[in-house]
Structure 1
Amino acid sequence: MVEEQNEETRTVDLVNDDLTGVSAEEIRAAQAAVAAQLETAEDRWRRAAADYDNLRKRMTREVETAREQERQRTARAFLPVLDGLDRALTFAVNFDESVHGGMQAVRAQAADALRALGYPEIVVDGATYDPQLHEAVSVVEDASAPPRSVIAVTRPGFGTPERMLRPAAVVVTRRPDEE
């Protein structure tokens, strides 16, 4: 019924013991001990739940980061293929029209693959120079065009301002009187 833990304190098993002969003070002490244990267990449970939630969030971030890194590695592997196709297309103008068309189709498929990976081709036609999207490789004086206009692309770019794979290398205009 009542066990003696040491000479000063006794513990009471409120569930299994017959409580006859146990003082109210001993019952209150046992209740306080059980309440303290419950509070400790609840605190440990809350901490474990918070740790699990933090772990889940961290793992989600790490998986997304790994996916993004792999997506970028895969997209970067396509860049030399696209550059080679672009160079081949510049020389393919003398080839049969069907060969030239086939090469253009393969180039379009490669660009579509990059778009599917989240890196669309940067549209340059009639654009104003944007340092987030373009890399100026040359500046040409041209009084007929607005300043900072993109007039030629030397290497296509892929991505968005938030997710850039490679900026487009472009030729930009300026007015003759600008420095």
Structure 2
Amino acid sequence: MEDRWRRALADLENLRKRHARELERERAAERARTAAALLPVIDNLELALSHAGADPGSIVAGVRAVRDQAVDTLARLGYARQDETGVPFDPARHEVVGVVEDPDVAPGTVVQVLRPGYGETGNQLRPVAVAVAKRE
């Protein structure tokens, strides 16, 4: 009986160690997949920097395209950009950084997005920084 008990403890310890190794392997693989998804964005930023002496208008357009590519990459990773105005304030999605008096808008309505957020409620990288309306 004691021998079986010791074997069961040893099996449990081996199972814990194997699970820890598999978990670390999965984490490393996910980090690699995420980094690989960002590589095209870095490549395009380096390309934009190599054309720094060109027409400023084309540089701005190129940087906007790279930003859009980065936002799309985050969306594919499950963190879509959140930057809507005119919606009711939701403390699970929004962070109030300012209050604005606006008699034309219902109190507690998002009137300005100061910093976009990424992800949905429960799966956010960061909340949307907003200014909300109030009435006196």
TM bin, normalised by shorter chain, reads 0.5 to 0.7
1:111-130 correspondence runs (5 A): 111-130=71-90
Q: Which has the larger radius of gyration?
A: 1
Larger strand proportion, structure 1 or 2?
Answer: 2
Kindly tell me: are residues 164 and 67 of structure 1, through their superposed partners in 2, closer, same or farther at Cα, counting changes over 3 Å? Answer: farther
Root mean square deviation of aligned Cα: 3.4
Q: 2:119 aligns with which of 128, 147, 159?
A: 159
Mapped to 2, the partners of 1:146 and 1:160 lie a distance apart of 24
| Secondary structure in 2 matching 1:124 | coil
Indicate the residue corresponding to 1:49 in structure 2: 11
Q: Could you tell me the TM-score, scaled by structure 2's length? A: 0.63
Q: Structure 2: how far apart are the matches of 1:64 and 1:137?
A: 38
Structure 1 gaps, min length 5: 1-38, 82-94
**1:141 maps to 2:110:** no
Post-superposition offset of 1:154: 1.3
Shift of 1:163: 3.2
String of CA shifts for 1:108-167, please: whole Å, max 9, x gaps: 111012223332212423321122222212111222212111111111111333233222
Q: Aligned partner of 1:166: which letter? A: R
Q: CA deviation at 1:59?
A: 4.0
Q: How far, CA to CA, are the matches of 2:79 and 2:70 in structure 1?
A: 11
Distance 1:63 1:173, change over 3 A: farther
Distance 1:65 1:112 in 2: 23
Q: How many residues align?
A: 117
CA distance in 1, matches of 2:59, 2:135: 41
CA 1:63/1:146 → structure 2, altered by over 3 Å: closer, same or farther? farther
